[in-house]
Structure formats: C-alpha cells, structure tokens
Amino acid sequence: MSPMSRSGVSRRGLLRLVGGAAGAAAVMGASGCGLLGGSKGAEESGNGGVEKSRLRVGALPTSEIAPLHLAAQNGHFQREGLQVDIVTASDGAAALNSTIGGDYDITFSSYVPIFQAQSKGIAQLKIVADCAAAAPNTCVIMASPASGVRRPADLAGRKIAISGPGTISELMVKAAMRANGVDFGGVSWAPLGFVNMPAALQQGQVDAAFLVEPFLTLAARDARALPVVDTATGPLANLPLGGYVSTAGFADANPKTVAAFQRAMDSAVTEAQDRTKIEPLLTQFAKIDRETASIISLLQMNSRPDTSRLQRVPRLMKDFGYLDKDIDVASMIVPPRN
C-alpha cells in the first residue's frame, strides 16, 4: 500500500491532526485499504441526478447523531436518490482522518479537529451540514462521590477525564473552569472514551469527567456521579459542537450529491424535533436501554450551518491556544442548493 492516502495527504500530516499514540492508532486503522477491512464498494450512478448515489458516512455512538440514523431509516436519503452506509468510528478525530484519507465521503466530527486540520493545512475541508449545539444538562463535568469534588473550585489540580487532548471536551472544561475563576494549569488530563468514563468514575480512576449523553445519565445512575459544572451555560451556551464535513475535493466534484445530503438532513432534523421519533433509534446505535433513552437530555439538533454561530468555536480555540491564526468559517460552509 502506498504511504500516501487516496487524497494525497501523507500519514505524517494526518498524525499531526490528533497527535499521540491514540491518534496514530486511529489513523492506521483508517488506511486506504478500508476501515472495516473490505473495499469501498461505492456505487457511482446518476440516481436522482446526483453524481454519487452511495455514500459512506462516519458517525459516533452518541445522541446527536440520531437525525442521521433517522434519515437513513425513514427514507429521507432514499427520497433524495442516496444510499448511505453509516460507519461508526472510535471518535471524531478517527472519523475525520478516514474522510481526509478517502475512506468516508462525509463524516461527523466535533468542530475542534475540523478547524485544527484546516488551520494547519492538513486538509481543505467543507462543512456540509451542522449537527448539534450545546444545551443545558448535555455537557456536564461530573465527579465521583468519593473524590470530594462538589463545586468548580474543587476541580483545581484534580484528575479529569476528557475524550482526548486538543478536543472540544478539553476546551469546554478549560473554558468552564476559567469562567468560574478556577486555574486549570495543574489539572491532570486523562484521555478516555466516553463509554469508559462512568466506570472510571465508579472505580475512582479519575476525580471528575466531562460527560455527554447518554453517558452522563449512565454515570449518574450507575456510578452515582454528581454534577459539578454544566459547561453548556454562560459563555458556552448554545456553542456549536459538531457537524458533517467532507474534503473540498469531494464537495467540488459532487455538488448535487452534497445538496441531496443537505436536504435529507434538513427534513430529518425537522422530524427529530419530536423526540419519540428518535428514542427508539438510541437503543439501536447508542446501545442504551429504553428507559435511559426516554430520560436523557438532548442537544440542540441543527442542520443548517450559521456562520456567526460557528465562528464562536475557532475564536474560542484561538483564545485558549488551540489555533494560532483566525479561521474564516464562511469560506468553509457549502451553501444549500435548491
């Protein structure tokens, strides 16, 4: 296999995106040979006037992805002439790497690695659709009962689980601590998958963890974890968290396909405002029981990217040293086509 990905981006360039051993493992698993060990098998056709009718879309087992699954199961994609294969990745950075490397056509990722890749010149990316924004009780720093952590000031110098270094979870914890006048300089950061955080709290491996749903509810139920800071308030209220992106090359070569994907997501997000439509899906892709699916707090689900809202993310990233230059978000957004 060539050391270059199918998009011509070197693996060394991809590794700079996430860094560390975890990032390296994610990239090596997303090689041009196919993440799942098979051929891409994409079907090129003109169904519905699109350039490419079959898409591989990267996703995560988290609640904000519900409209994507709704679009696939309730015929939103099919009505637009698309067949979408949803592939679950280990994390957003791994999914983004697979898209840059050519294994996925479009992927969900948090905005932090998206803007990092764009800023560093690792890839030219296009925001195809928005996904979700922070809402109350959806992005919470939770603490182990035995840790003694009860208020924001108690987080100073503690061991806090985040999904990974340089991620939006780390950024939101730092921003929330600073907003509460707490120094995060002495924090010991513990990179951990969201799915493993409830057990880590229960077993005392970490003092606190940044949790999203459904893992937030699971941690409260199974580990008796206690809320310390709701990060989706104050300066971080309604902060855009993640969206769907493709490479600029894919978007330029497949404008009708991208437009069809956008229309399908628009209609799916509209339908998803009725949570009874998505609760059954949560038991399937997020692997949670019906009772938990019925009580978790949901993020603010979106589909149309808004420039002014999205610009908040790179501005915050630059403020905390994640970026060394400004990002023009407007130039990254693929405007909807009628």
- The residue out of 217, 236, 255 marking a domain boundary is 236
Do both 24 and 155 map to the same domain?
no
How many domains, in total, are found in the chain?
Answer: 2
pLDDT in tens, 58-85: 998 888 899 999 999 999 999 999 999 9
- Position 48 confidence tier, pLDDT thresholds 50, 70, 90: low
Rounded to whole angstroms, the Cα distance separating 124 from 9 reads 11
Do both 187 and 250 map to the same domain?
no
Give the domain range for residue 95. Answer: 11-134+239-332
Closest CA to 209 of 222, 192, 224: 192
Residue 35 predicted with pLDDT over 80 = no
Does 279 fall in a domain?
yes
Return the number of other C-beta atoms located less than 10 Å from residue 155's C-beta: 26
3-state DSSP of 219-254: HHHHCCCEEEEECCCHHHCCCEEEEEEEEHHHHHHC
Of residues 175 and 19, the one with the higher pLDDT is 175
Does 337 fall in a domain?
no
Is residue 70 within 8 Å of residue 271, measured between CB atoms? yes
- The residue out of 181, 209, 236 marking a domain boundary is 236
Is residue 51 within 8 Å of residue 42, measured between CB atoms? no
Rounded to whole angstroms, the Cα distance separating 112 from 23 reads 14
Residue 17 predicted with pLDDT over 60 = no
Does 1 fall in a domain?
no
Does 180 fall in a domain?
yes
Q: Please report the DSSP string for 179-210 in residue order.
A: HTT---TT-EEEE--GGGHHHHHHTTS-SEEE
Residue 192 sits in a domain of what CATH number?
3.40.190.10
Do both 45 and 130 map to the same domain?
yes
Tokens of 326: 């400004």
Do both 204 and 311 map to the same domain?
no
Do both 83 and 226 map to the same domain?
no
Q: What is the mean pLDDT of residues 303-314?
A: 95
Do both 156 and 193 map to the same domain?
yes
- The residue out of 173, 201, 236 marking a domain boundary is 236
**Average pLDDT value over all residues in the chain:** 85
In this predicted structure, what is the pLDDT of residue 93? 78
Q: Report the DSSP pairing between strands 106-110 and 54-59.
A: parallel
In this predicted structure, what is the pLDDT of residue 338? 65
Classify residue 100 by its DSSP letter: H
In this predicted structure, what is the pLDDT of residue 252? 97
In this predicted structure, what is the pLDDT of residue 28? 26
Q: Please report the DSSP string for 6-59 in residue order.
A: TTS-BHHHHHHHH-HHHHHHHHHTT-TT-TTSS--------GGG-S-SEEEEEE
Angle between helices 11-18 and 92-100 (to 10 degrees): 160
Q: Among 12-26, 59-73, 174-188, 243-257, whose mean pLDDT is lowest?
A: 12-26
Rounded to whole angstroms, the Cα distance separating 272 from 261 reads 16
Residue 120 predicted with pLDDT over 60 = yes
Rounded to whole angstroms, the Cα distance separating 302 from 242 reads 10
3-state secondary structure at position 103: coil
Do both 255 and 220 map to the same domain?
no
In this predicted structure, what is the pLDDT of residue 164? 85
Rounded to whole angstroms, the Cα distance separating 29 from 27 reads 5
Residue 47 predicted with pLDDT over 70 = no
Do both 189 and 328 map to the same domain?
no
> Which strands form 208-212's sheet, in the order they lie side by side?
188-191, 159-162, 208-212, 139-143, 226-230
pLDDT in tens, 219-229: 999 999 999 99
Does 6 fall in a domain?
no
pLDDT in tens, 167-195: 899 999 999 999 999 999 999 999 998 88
Do both 264 and 302 map to the same domain?
yes
Q: What percent of the chain has pLDDT over 70?
A: 86
Of residues 210 and 14, the one with the higher pLDDT is 210
Q: What is the mean pLDDT of residues 9-20?
A: 35
Does 4 fall in a domain?
no
